[in-house]
Structure 1
């Protein structure tokens, strides 16, 4: 990984996978599990550091992580939703690093996200200008992966609930840049979604 930026990537993987019926972080994706695929994707970018936020089944998922260069953070309050994992990421970075320009939030269950696209986000970011770089979905939906300038860390640290950082994107809309990926930015929540997506990729 070329460390030519001052960006930290946080991979959020704290959910209980209730709709899946088993930890989706450990599903196969190519020759790796989804969690290890996500870590490999993040590590092969311009990011300075990569942290992984676990919660439900954290001991089991952690035992399958093969890259010991990433920092594993456990969100004990994972039941409070995605926002709490983002808050936990921001608090960890604030307490662990002296020098960083921003935090790039990535979801482990979006396996179509590429290292190249994450680098596009990092390259589009101008530090110290209060920028937020977000990703465009279908029907004008904006969300993760999203890169937040370090100016927003106090806001991020206050998040909770399942809405993630949508409230921050709405509050600071004038500072948001939106990128459109060249792939469908899909989440995996159910076994049916997983099979459909995996079949698409394998063709």
Structure 2
């Protein structure tokens, strides 16, 4: 099974006031942590989707470290980044499954991404998601059966609706630290304590 990873990093970070992608945690930017996790994982291919503040963000990581593409429609919401990333993957890499991850979960590492891949192999389910704080969420692995539904998402809709519509084909893995994401300066302060 060929696995692709799509890192969504196109948002405007309105609540933080500056691009969260370049916010620092333990000597690295949040985006660099996400890139490292993807690059160190067992995935075959990876792509980074950028949007708001793209030029500023691109200066913070070595461009050759990961293919990165612009989402000209980032203002229309997260679904557009999922579609841009998946279109790129399908055109160049033809994966059997993709993992969608964000750049604002500092505790996502290669281990958790590999666990998604290994769980899919073991359970043969079409969707493998992380579970934390009583929610099911990203990072999430989707098999190719769901690519059409991912491409049909609109607005600020993430992939959660697909997951909820197919609970019979869903398996979850525990990832308690997945609940930590960075939206505000306060979140960043708490993280760096």
Unaligned stretches of 5+ residues in structure 2: none
Q: How many residues align?
A: 192
In the alignment, which residue of structure 2 is the partner of 1:173? 167
In the alignment, which residue of structure 2 is the partner of 1:85? 81
SS at match of 2:17: coil
- C-alpha separation between the residues in 2 aligned to 1:179 and 1:67? 32
- The verdict on how the C-alpha distance between 1:184 and 1:104 changes in structure 2, with shifts beyond 3 A counting, is closer
Give the C-alpha shift of residue 184 in structure 1.
Answer: 4.4
SS at match of 2:42: coil
Q: Deviations over 1:115-155 (max 9, x none)?
A: 1111111111139x56100111212x111000000121111
Give the C-alpha shift of residue 68 in structure 1.
Answer: 1.0
- Of structures 1 and 2, the one with the larger relative CO (CA 8 A, separation 6+) is 2
Any runs of at least 4 consecutive aligned residues in structure 1 with deviations exceeding 3 A, and if so which?
none
- C-alpha separation between the residues in 2 aligned to 1:122 and 1:198? 30
Query: Does residue 10 of structure 2 align to residue 14 of structure 1?
Result: yes
Unaligned stretches of 5+ residues in structure 1: none
- C-alpha separation between the residues in 2 aligned to 1:90 and 1:42? 16
8 A Cα contact 1:54 1:75, kept in partner? yes
Q: State how 1:123-162 maps to structure 2 within 5 Å.
A: 123-126=118-121, 131-139=126-134, 141-162=135-156
Give the C-alpha shift of residue 77 in structure 1.
Answer: 0.8
Q: Deviations over 1:76-110 (max 9, x none)?
A: 11111112211221111111223x22100111000
Q: Deviations over 1:18-47 (max 9, x none)?
A: 100111111112122111111011111101
SS at match of 2:98: strand
Match of 2:25 among 4, 11, 29: 29
Q: Normalized against structure 2, the TM-score is what?
A: 0.93
CA RMSD of aligned residues (A): 1.6
8 A Cα contact 2:105 2:178, kept in partner? no
| Greater share of helix | 2
In the alignment, which residue of structure 1 is the partner of 2:62? 66
